[in-house]
Amino acid sequence: MGEFKPMDAGISPRYAQISTFMRLPHSRDIKNYDVAIIGVPYDGGTSYRPGTRFGPREIRSHSSLIRGYSYYSKSDLFSRLRIADYGDIDASPYNIELTYKLIEDTIESILNENVFPVVIGGDHSISLGILRAVAKKYGPVGLVQFDAHSDTYDGVYGTEYHHGTPFKRAIEEGLIDPSRSLQIGIRGQFVSSTDLDYALQSGMKILMMDDINKKGISDVIKNIEGLGKEPVYVSLDIDAVDPAFAPGTGTPVPGGFDSREIIQLVRSLKPLNVVGFDLVEVSPPYDNNGITSLLASNLIYEFLNTVSLEKKS
């Protein structure tokens, strides 16, 4: 096994050894790597069904099925990028603000090494901590958010922070530029007719699922490509996918993307200047034979194999 390569499945079976992402090396000495995979096993921001704290572990487990060479891109991921599994941030199960601080400090340290962070959640509240670190380096960034929900809602139950608030708080804190932000796949029922007002009034563009069904995936891709070359953060909530293909999530909403469509959309990110990525809301207790974790691990692979990152010299 090379220093930057997964274990050889011809020597060590894929179900053996410590379960790192794609069986890659586990390391916190990441200065020689291009990408760090970071788990955030946290679901203290969940409003209904908990369980996403187990997401990073199960996604890693199912990622052992993935191989490095992509027929689609005609490239070998491990020849192109040096990737380490950083392990998990020890999020506090009791204190969301402490968790945000732990996330921010860890991601900041990774970015300071010029290493690209790929974060596995956890519920969607964790995106705020990541964006705080990203904005320190890049200033306000654009956003591509794949999601059934806008997550620009207000606080409830006496707290300003939960998995429905991260992008409202991010706008308020100046972490993202709403004029360069897309929310893709929003659908379902709302509490009231004003639920999307904050996002729309701030300048975010929302691509509702009903409109996507009429205009097609090609229209979504045009909107993504229209974000240009300024820094963009990508957040993928697995509930953007229809629960027929991803049942293991906390707030499933029928009528979403199928597996093939979401893979196509992740591949469409290639022209963008992406500076950070998270995949959140995989909840294994509600999964069916691991199909959600398997899809999630493949989406992370597709992202890594698509995004334009410069390999360290």
- Give the residue numbers of the binding site for Mn(2+): 124, 147, 149, 151, 237, 239
b/e per residue, 203-241, with b = 16+ CB within 10 A? ebbbbebeebeeeebeebbebbeebeeebbbbbbbbbbb
**Which helix H or strand E contains 273, and what residues bound it?**
strand 273-280
Question: End-to-end CA distance of the chain, in Å?
Answer: 21
Task: Please work out, in degrees rounded to the nearest 5, the angle formed at the alpha carbon of residue 91 by the alpha carbons of 89 and 93.
Answer: 155
Q: Looking at 43-169, which runs of residues are DSSP E strands?
A: 69-70, 75-76, 83-88, 116-121, 141-146
Binding residues: 124, 147, 149, 151, 237, 239
The tokens describing 12, both together, are 């060590």
Query: Which residues partner with 183 through β-bridges?
Result: 145, 206
Rounded Cα distance between 190 and 177, Å, is: 25
Nearest to 278 by CA among 95, 155, 151: 151
DSSP H or E run through 263: helix 259-267
